[in-house]
């Protein structure tokens, strides 16, 4: 079964398409987190960032930058979040890789929470396990 983004790619359902090339497309997110919220989506269907070939992934970021520059001119936001959810637990609802480009304004409703109570030992353990996995 096709993903919703494959249906958009194949023009089977409508979208607010902003940009397309051979590898990616970008359109307005149907649920606007903030004014101008866009998605950059691969044309081929890969489940998420971790399943996506590097050349597609890097092109998604380049196009995300291009879209953000246009949003900056058009809407004058004060910043952006570039975000890609991996897995249901992280909030992924469409299992076809995409990058959210979310313009940020002085008064908007978007919140992320970060925790500052990680101990020195926790950081050391994290460093050890992730560095080991990287090598």
37, 96, 98, 100: the catalytic one is 98
Minimal distance, residue 6 CB to ligand AMP, in Å: 11
**Helical residues (DSSP H) of 11-108, grouped into ranges:** 54-75
Check binding of 4 to ligand AMP (CB under 6 A): yes
Those residues whose C-beta lies under 8 Å from the C-beta of residue 10, and which sit 6 or more positions away, are: 2
**Closest alpha carbon to 63 in 10, 117, 26:** 26
Distance CA 30, CA 69 (A): 20
Minimal distance, residue 102 CB to ligand AMP, in Å: 10
Helix (H, G, I), strand (E, B) or coil at 81: strand
12 versus 124: smaller Cβ distance to ligand AMP: 12
Check binding of 15 to ligand AMP (CB under 6 A): yes
32 versus 129: smaller Cβ distance to ligand AMP: 32
Which residues, listed in sequence order, are joined to residue 82 by a DSSP beta bridge?
101
Residue 76, Ramachandran bin (φ over 0: left; ψ between -120 and 50: alpha; else beta): left
98 is catalytic: yes
Check binding of 85 to ligand AMP (CB under 6 A): yes
Minimal distance, residue 94 CB to ligand AMP, in Å: 4
Check binding of 92 to ligand AMP (CB under 6 A): yes
Give me the active site residues, please. 98
Binding residues for ligand AMP, rule: CB under 6 A, are 4, 15, 27, 29-31, 85, 91-94
């Amino acid at each position: 079964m096709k993903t919703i983004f494959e249906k958009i790619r194949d023009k089977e359902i409508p979208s607010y398409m902003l940009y397309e090339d051979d590898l990616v497309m970008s359109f307005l997110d149907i649920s606007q987190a903030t004014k101008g919220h866009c998605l950059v989506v691969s044309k081929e269907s890969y489940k998420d960032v971790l399943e996506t070939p590097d050349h597609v992934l890097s092109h998604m970021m380049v196009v995300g930058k291009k879209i953000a520059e246009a949003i900056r001119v058009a809407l004058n936001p004060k910043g952006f979040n570039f975000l890609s959810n991996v897995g249901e637990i992280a909030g992924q609802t469409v299992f076809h890789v995409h990058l959210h480009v979310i313009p940020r304004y002085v008064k908007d409703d978007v919140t992320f929470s970060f925790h500052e109570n990680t101990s020195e030992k926790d950081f050391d353990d994290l460093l050890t396990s992730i560095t080991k996995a990287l090598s």
